[in-house]
C-alpha cells in the first residue's frame, strides 16, 4: 500500500477479497469518497481450485491494496497473516478497521486484538447462522472478539441474532453479501422445461432431493447441472425416469449467467447438517438477475433470501414431493414464472447490489469515522423498529403486528424487537432482535422486557420506532394502543378482578400498576410523538387520560376468507358435538374469564333455560375451568355448558354456533366479536369499545347491561326467533366488512409516512 495519502477512513482485512468481484463494495465506498485500504492474502488456495488464486485489485483500490503471506489455508477460520497486525495498524492508523472474517476465526482475533490495543474501532463479519459446538478455547476467542467489537456486519437476520446471543456488545446490523448484477435477462431458447442447479456437488446441497423431484415430472423436463464435486459420478449414474439430465461440469463464474439464462427455474435444495446450514445462497440472486425464478429448501437463510426478494418459493428440506409439486405448478404457468422473476430482480437490486450493500455498510461505519455521513440512497426504504412482546397469528395485538409485517414489508424494512417472533414471519423482517423474557410471573415478564427492549433499541439504527403499548422507557415515534390501562382502571375501579383467587389478584394488580406507571411515563410529549388507538373508544380514553399526545385510529382487521359462514363446517362440528338443529348454541370465545364475563353468561344461561330448553353454551379458550364447571353445576346447567379448551380452529366454532355472547367488563376492539360478525352471528355484548360500535343500535345484535337478567333476556329473544338471528347476522357481516387487515396495515403505514415526513430522523 503506497503512502502519502494520509490515514485511511477504513482498512479492510479480507481473505474473500483476493478475488476482484468480492472487492466491489469496498470499491463503491472508495468511489463515494471514502479512503479505503485493503489487506488480503497474496494468494489463496481453495478446496476446489486446481491452483492458488493470486490476489487481484479493482481500479478503485489501486495503490491501496497490501498483499501479505498467510498460513493455514484453505481453512478460512484457521489462517493467520505472517505479519504483525499491530505494526501494520500502528503505521497506517486507520480510523476504523473491518475484518471480513467470522468472530471465532484466528484472523479476526489477530487483527481485532491489535486494533483494540491501539484504540482503533473495529468490526467483524458474521455469516455463521448455526450455534454449533466449538472447543472452549475457540469460544473464549469468539467472546473476546465480540465483546470488543464496535460493530458486527451480520450477513443475515439469523446471523445477527446469533451474534447477540454470543455476546456482541456493539452494534449488530444486517449487511448482506453483495451479488454483482448480471446483464438484462432475455428470452430463453429451446423446448421443454429446464430445471437447473449450479453449485458444488456435495451431500449437504440436497442433490438427491432434486433428482427425486425431477424424476416425478416426467417427459419434457430436463435437469441441467453445472458444478463439480464428490457426487459427480453418483449424479451421472442416476436415472430420472422420463426426464433427462444435462451435465455441464464446472463453469467459470464469468459464464454462469449463460447457464442461468437458459433455465426456466433454478433450484437450491440444500440440507442442514449439525455443523452447517445455507448461509446465503448467492446463486438464488444470480438466477433472478438472469430472469429466472427460484425454488429453495427451508435450510438456513434460503427462506430469508426468497422471501426478501419475492422471486420464488420454498419447500421443506428433503421433501421431494413438495418440490415436485411446485415445479409442476410452475411448468404449466409461464406467466407466474415471469412475474416472480421480475419481482425478484427488482428487489435484488434494492438489497443485494454492491451499491445497496455499500449503503448498508456506510450506515454502520459513519458513526465511527469523524466527518463521514452515509451517502443518501435513492429509493432506500425507511427502517422501522417494531417493538412488541410477541408477534404471531393468535390474539389481537400479536395478529395486528403479524399482518403489518406481511403487508408493510414492501414499503419499509422492519427491525423487530420482540421476545417471540413466529418462525413463518422471520423471513419478512430485516432483523429480529430477540429479548429474552421469562414466561411468568407477569410483573417480572413486563419488567424484563421493559429494560431489555430499551437496551436492544439503543443498539439498532432505525428511522422510526413503533411500539405496541408503553413497553419501553425510550423515546418512540408511534405507540399502538390495544389496551389503555388507565381507561380500564377508571371503568373497573380496581387494579384486578375481585372474583379471582388472592394470589392471582395480587399478581394481576402488580402487573397493571407497572403498566399504568409505564403509560404515565411514555404517553406524554417528548416521549411519544403519536398514539395509534385500535378503536374510537380507545382514542377517547387516551384523549381523556393522556391529552398531550395526538391519537389516531388504526383499527384491527378480520380475515374474511377464514371467518365466514360455512354450512358444511357447521354440520360437521354440530354432529361431532351431538348438537342437533333444534339446539341454539351460544358461543363464548376468550381467556381471562372473570374479566370477559363467563360467569355472567353461565348465570344468564341458567335463567333462560326454563323458557328455552334448547339453549346451550359453548366455551372456547383457557381459564380456571374447575371453578366455572362448579358454577354451572351449582346452577344446574352443567349438562348445557361445554368447555372446548384452547383451539386453533376457532372459525369452525363461529360457523357452527347460532349467536355470540361476550359480557365483558372492558374491551378495546374485541377481535373475537368481529370474527363472530364475519361468520354471520348476532352479537350479545356489553357496551364496551369496539363491540358496541360494531353492533350499532341493535342492528348486528343486542347491547346489554353487565347483568345476568339482561343477558338472559337477550339470549331468550334470539333463541326464540331464528329470523331475527339471521337478520342480525347478515347486518353483522355488512358492518364488519370494512375491517380488513389491508386497511389496518395501510392506516399504520400512513402514520409512518406522516411521522417520517415531519422529521422522524434516524435514531
The answer to whether residue 433 is domain-embedded is yes
DSSP code of residue 641: E
Predicted TM-score of the model (pTM): 0.67
CB atoms within 10 A of CB 244: 15
Q: According to the model, what pLDDT value does residue 336 have?
A: 93
Give per-residue pLDDT as tens, 638-670: 999 999 999 988 999 999 999 999 999 989 899
Record the cell numbers describing residue 564, joined without a space: 365466514
Location of C-alpha cell 378503536: 535
User: Which helix (H) or strand (E) is 346 found in, with range?
Assistant: helix 334-351
Q: Where is the domain boundary, 528, 553, 578?
A: 553
The answer to whether residue 309 is domain-embedded is yes
pLDDT band for 394, please (50, 70, 90 cuts): confident
- 3-state class (DSSP) for residue 431: strand
Among 383, 364, 414, which residue's Cα sits nearest to residue 153?
364
Q: Is the peptide bond before 607 cis (omega within 30 degrees of 0)?
A: no
Query: Are the beta carbons of 432 and 426 closer than 8 angstroms?
Result: yes
Distance CA 394, CA 590 (A): 11
Q: According to the model, what pLDDT value does residue 377 have?
A: 57
Q: According to the model, what pLDDT value does residue 762 have?
A: 38
Give per-residue pLDDT as tens, 481-502: 999 999 888 887 777 666 656 6
CB atoms within 10 A of CB 5: 11
Distance CA 591, CA 648 (A): 14
HSE, CB side, 13 Å, CA atoms: give it for residue 180. 15
Adjacent-strand bridge partners of 273: 276
User: Which helix (H) or strand (E) is 624 found in, with range?
Assistant: none
DSSP 48-102: T-SSPEEPP--GGGTT-EEEE-EESTT-TTT-EESS-HHHHHHHH--S-EEEES-
Residue 40 to residues 99, 117, 758: CA-CA distances in angstroms?
A: 10, 22, 45
What size, in residues, is the chain?
A: 763
| Predicted confidence (pLDDT) at residue 763 exceeds the cutoff of 50 | no
Distance CA 691, CA 671 (A): 9
Record the cell numbers describing residue 275, joined without a space: 455443523
Adjacent-strand bridge partners of 434: 418
pLDDT band for 45, please (50, 70, 90 cuts): confident
Query: In sequence order, which residues have a C-beta less than 8 Å from that of residue 518 and are 6 or more positions away?
Result: 446, 450, 469, 470, 471, 473
Q: What is the CATH number of the domain that holds 329?
A: 3.40.50.2000
664 shares its domain with 548: no
CA angle, 549 then 555 then 559, to 5°: 155
Record the cell numbers describing residue 752, joined without a space: 409512518
Distance CA 258, CA 32 (A): 32
Mean confidence (pLDDT) of the chain: 91
CB atoms within 10 A of CB 250: 12
Distance CA 515, CA 509 (A): 10
Identify the domain containing residue 140 by its residue range: 10-174
Q: What is the mean pLDDT of residues 555-569?
A: 91
The answer to whether residue 162 is domain-embedded is yes
DSSP code of residue 276: B
pLDDT band for 423, please (50, 70, 90 cuts): confident
| Predicted confidence (pLDDT) at residue 448 exceeds the cutoff of 60 | yes
Q: According to the model, what pLDDT value does residue 3 have?
A: 43
186-222 in b/e burial notation, b at 16+ Cβ within 10 A?
A: eeeeeeebbbbbbbbbeeebbbbbbbbbbbbbeeebb
Query: In sequence order, which residues have a C-beta less than 8 Å from that of residue 442 and are 6 or more positions away?
Result: 507, 508, 510, 511
Query: Are the beta carbons of 80 and 70 closer than 8 angstroms?
Result: yes
Backbone φ and ψ of 739, nearest 5° = -90, 85
The answer to whether residue 183 is domain-embedded is no
Distance CA 530, CA 546 (A): 11
| C-beta pairs of 446-451 under 8 Å, 24+ apart in sequence | 446/471, 446/511, 446/514, 446/515, 446/518, 447/514, 449/389, 449/419, 450/514, 450/518
Q: Are strands 476-481 and 464-468 parallel, antiparallel or unpaired?
A: parallel
| Predicted confidence (pLDDT) at residue 185 exceeds the cutoff of 80 | no
Distance CA 662, CA 84 (A): 73
115 shares its domain with 217: no
HSE, CB side, 13 Å, CA atoms: give it for residue 763. 23
| Predicted confidence (pLDDT) at residue 94 exceeds the cutoff of 60 | yes
Query: Are the beta carbons of 235 and 248 closer than 8 angstroms?
Result: no
**Number of domains within the chain:** 4
pLDDT band for 190, please (50, 70, 90 cuts): low
Among 594, 481, 462, which residue's Cα sits nearest to residue 544?
481
The answer to whether residue 364 is domain-embedded is no
Q: According to the model, what pLDDT value does residue 7 have?
A: 85
Give per-residue pLDDT as tens, 101-132: 999 999 999 999 999 999 999 999 999 999 98
Q: According to the model, what pLDDT value does residue 500 have?
A: 56
204 shares its domain with 297: yes
What Rg do the C-alpha atoms of the chain give, in angstroms? 30
623 shares its domain with 660: yes
Among 400, 426, 406, 424, which residue's Cα sits nearest to residue 415?
426
Q: According to the model, what pLDDT value does residue 62 have?
A: 93
Give the helix ranges, DSSP H, for 352-484: 354-365, 397-408, 442-457
pLDDT band for 371, please (50, 70, 90 cuts): confident
User: Which helix (H) or strand (E) is 757 found in, with range?
Assistant: helix 741-757
Residue 130 to residues 134, 163, 272, 280, 299: CA-CA distances in angstroms?
A: 11, 10, 10, 13, 11
Q: According to the model, what pLDDT value does residue 553 have?
A: 95
The answer to whether residue 359 is domain-embedded is no
pLDDT band for 424, please (50, 70, 90 cuts): confident
Q: According to the model, what pLDDT value does residue 518 have?
A: 95
| Predicted confidence (pLDDT) at residue 761 exceeds the cutoff of 50 | no
Helix/strand/coil (H, E, C) string of 495-550? CCCCCCCHHHHHHHHHHHHHHHHHHHHHCCCCCEEEEEECCHHHHHHHHHHCCCCC
Q: According to the model, what pLDDT value does residue 386 have?
A: 98
**Percent of the chain with pLDDT strictly greater than 90:** 76
Q: According to the model, what pLDDT value does residue 186 have?
A: 66
513 shares its domain with 401: yes
314 shares its domain with 342: yes
Query: In sequence order, which residues have a C-beta less than 8 Å from that of residue 475 and are 6 or more positions away?
Result: 465, 526, 527, 528
| Predicted confidence (pLDDT) at residue 512 exceeds the cutoff of 50 | yes
Q: What is the mean pLDDT of residues 30-51?
A: 86
Record the cell numbers describing residue 125, joined without a space: 463479519
Q: What is the mean pLDDT of residues 8-35?
A: 95
Q: According to the model, what pLDDT value does residue 51 have?
A: 79
The answer to whether residue 254 is domain-embedded is yes
Record the cell numbers describing residue 310, joined without a space: 419475492
Q: Is the peptide bond before 628 cis (omega within 30 degrees of 0)?
A: no
404 shares its domain with 452: yes
Q: According to the model, what pLDDT value does residue 636 have?
A: 95
User: Which helix (H) or strand (E) is 228 found in, with range?
Assistant: none
Give per-residue pLDDT as tens, 164-181: 889 998 888 899 999 988
207 shares its domain with 325: yes
578 shares its domain with 697: yes
HSE, CB side, 13 Å, CA atoms: give it for residue 460. 31
DSSP 148-189: H-SEEEESSHHHHHHHHHTT--SEEEE-PPP----PPP-PPP
Record the cell numbers describing residue 340, joined without a space: 416472480
CA 650 to centroid of chain Cα atoms: 24
| Predicted confidence (pLDDT) at residue 582 exceeds the cutoff of 70 | yes
- 3-state class (DSSP) for residue 260: helix
CB atoms within 10 A of CB 383: 22
> Hey, what's the torsion of the CAs at 42, 48, 50, 55, to 10 degrees?
-20
pLDDT band for 410, please (50, 70, 90 cuts): confident
Among 469, 546, 558, which residue's Cα sits nearest to residue 515?
469
**Percent of the chain with pLDDT strictly greater than 70:** 95
The answer to whether residue 430 is domain-embedded is yes
pLDDT band for 2, please (50, 70, 90 cuts): very low
Query: Are the beta carbons of 43 and 54 closer than 8 angstroms?
Result: yes
Q: According to the model, what pLDDT value does residue 189 have?
A: 63
Residue 113 to residues 119, 143, 164, 626: CA-CA distances in angstroms?
A: 10, 12, 20, 62
388 shares its domain with 534: yes
Q: According to the model, what pLDDT value does residue 497 have?
A: 60
HSE, CB side, 13 Å, CA atoms: give it for residue 635. 24
Adjacent-strand bridge partners of 585: 616
CA angle, 647 then 651 then 654, to 5°: 105
344 shares its domain with 454: no
238 shares its domain with 102: no
Amino acid at each position: 500500500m503506497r503512502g502519502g495519502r494520509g490515514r485511511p477512513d477504513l482498512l479492510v482485512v479480507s481473505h474473500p477479497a483476493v478475488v476482484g468481484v468480492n472487492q466491489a463494495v469496498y470499491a463503491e465506498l472508495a468511489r463515494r469518497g471514502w479512503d479505503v485500504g485493503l489487506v488480503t492474502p497474496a494468494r489463496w488456495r481453495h478446496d476446489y481450485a486446481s491452483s492458488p488464486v493470486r490476489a487481484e485489485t479493482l481500479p478503485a483500490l489501486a495503490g491501496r491494496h497490501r498483499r501479505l503471506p498467510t498460513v493455514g489455508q484453505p481453512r478460512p477460520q484457521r489462517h493467520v497473516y505472517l505479519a504483525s497486525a499491530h505494526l501494520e495498524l500502528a503505521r497506517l492508523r486507520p480510523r476504523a478497521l473491518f475484518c471480513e472474517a467470522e468472530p471465532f476465526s484466528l484472523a479476526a482475533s489477530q487483527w481485532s486484538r491489535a486494533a483494540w490495543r491501539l484504540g482503533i474501532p473495529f468490526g467483524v463479519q458474521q455469516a455463521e447462522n448455526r450455534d454449533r459446538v466449538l472447543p472452549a478455547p475457540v469460544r473464549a476467542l469468539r467472546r473476546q472478539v465480540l465483546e470488543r467489537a464496535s460493530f458486527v456486519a451480520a450477513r443475515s437476520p439469523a446471523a445477527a441474532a446469533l451474534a447477540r446471543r454470543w455476546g456482541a456488545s456493539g452494534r449488530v446490523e444486517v449487511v448482506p453479501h453483495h451479488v454483482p448484477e448480471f446483464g438484462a435477462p432475455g428470452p430463453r431458447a429451446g423446448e421443454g422445461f429446464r430445471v437447473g442447479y449450479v453449485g458444488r456437488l456435495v451431500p449437504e446441497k440436497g442433490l438427491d432431493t432434486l433428482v427425486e423431484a425431477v424424476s416425478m415430472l416426467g417427459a419434457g423436463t430436463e435437469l441441467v447441472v453445472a458444478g463439480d464435486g464428490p457426487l459427480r459420478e453418483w449424479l451421472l449414474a442416476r436415472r430420472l425416469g422420463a426426464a433427462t439430465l444435462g451435465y455441464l461440469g464446472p463453469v467459470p463464474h464469468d459464464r454462469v449467467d449463460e447457464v442461468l439464462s437458459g433455465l426456466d427455474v433454478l433450484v437450491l435444495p440444500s440440507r442442514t447438517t449439525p455443523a452447517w446450514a445455507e448461509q446465503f445462497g448467492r446463486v438464488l440472486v444470480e438466477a433472478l438477475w438472469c430472469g429466472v425464478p427460484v425454488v429453495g429448501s427451508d435450510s438456513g437463510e434460503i427462506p430469508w433470501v426468497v422471501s426478501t426478494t419475492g422471486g420464488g418459493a420454498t419447500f421443506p428440506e428433503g421433501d421431494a414431493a413438495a418440490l415436485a409439486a411446485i415445479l409442476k405448478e410452475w411448468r404449466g404457468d409461464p406467466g407466474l414464472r415471469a412475474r416472480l422473476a421480475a419481482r425478484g430482480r427488482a428487489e435484488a437490486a434494492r438489497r443485494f447490489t454492491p451499491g445497496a450493500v455499500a449503503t448498508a455498510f456506510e450506515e454502520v461505519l459513519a458513526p465511527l469515522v469523524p466527518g463521514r455521513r452515509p451517502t443518501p440512497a435513492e429509493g432506500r426504504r425507511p427502517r422501522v423498529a417494531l417493538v412488541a412482546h410477541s408477534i404471531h397469528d393468535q390474539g389481537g395485538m400479536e395478529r395486528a403486528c403479524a399482518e403489518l409485517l406481511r403487508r408493510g414489508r414492501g414499503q419499509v424494512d422492519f427491525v423487530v424487537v420482540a421476545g417471540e417472533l413466529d418462525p413463518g414471519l422471520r423471513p419478512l423482517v430485516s432483523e429480529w432482535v430477540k429479548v429474552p423474557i421469562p414466561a411468568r410471573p407477569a410483573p417480572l415478564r413486563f419488567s424484563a422486557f421493559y429494560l431489555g427492549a430499551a437496551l436492544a433499541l439503543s443498539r439498532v439504527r432505525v428511522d422510526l420506532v413503533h411500539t405496541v403499548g408503553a413497553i419501553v422507557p425510550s423515546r418512540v415515534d408511534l405507540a399502538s394502543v390495544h389496551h389503555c390501562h388507565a381507561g380500564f382502571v377508571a371503568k373497573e375501579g380496581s387494579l384486578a378482578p375481585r372474583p379471582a383467587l388472592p394470589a392471582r389478584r395480587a399478581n394481576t394488580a402488580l402487573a397493571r400498576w407497572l403498566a399504568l406507571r409505564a403509560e404515565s411515563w411514555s404517553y406524554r410529549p417528548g416521549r411519544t410523538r403519536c398514539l395509534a388507538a385500535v378503536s374510537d373508544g380507545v382514542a377517547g380514553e387516551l384523549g381523556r387520560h393522556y391529552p398531550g399526545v395526538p391519537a389516531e385510529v388504526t383499527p384491527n382487521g378480520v380475515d374474511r376468507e377464514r371467518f365466514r359462514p360455512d354450512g358444511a363446517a357447521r354440520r360437521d362440528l354440530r354432529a361431532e358435538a351431538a348438537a342437533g338443529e333444534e339446539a341454539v348454541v351460544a358461543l363464548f370465545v376468550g381467556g381471562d374469564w372473570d374479566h370477559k364475563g363467563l360467569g355472567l353468561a353461565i348465570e344468564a344461561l341458567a335463567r333462560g333455560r326454563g323458557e328455552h330448553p334448547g339453549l346451550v353454551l359453548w366455551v372456547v379458550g383457557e381459564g380456571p375451568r374447575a371453578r366455572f364447571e362448579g358454577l354451572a353445576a351449582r346452577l344446574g346447567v352443567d349438562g348445557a355448558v361445554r368447555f372446548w379448551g384452547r383451539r386453533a380452529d376457532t372459525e369452525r366454532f363461529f360457523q357452527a354456533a347460532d349467536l355470540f355472547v361476550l359480557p365483558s367488563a372492558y374491551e378495546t376492539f374485541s377481535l373475537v366479536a368481529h370474527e363472530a360478525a364475519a361468520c354471520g352471528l348476532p352479537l350479545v355484548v356489553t357496551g364496551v369499545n369496539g363491540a358496541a360500535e360494531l353492533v350499532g343500535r341493535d342492528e348486528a345484535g343486542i347491547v346489554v347491561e353487565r347483568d345476568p337478567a339482561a343477558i338472559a333476556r337477550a339470549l331468550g329473544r334470539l333463541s326464540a326467533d331464528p329470523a331475527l338471528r339471521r337478520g342480525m347476522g347478515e347486518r353483522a357481516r355488512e358492518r364488519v366488512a370494512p375491517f380488513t387487515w389491508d386497511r389496518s396495515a395501510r392506516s399504520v403505514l400512513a402514520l409512518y409516512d406522516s411521522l417520517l415526513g415531519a422529521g422522524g430522523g434516524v435514531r
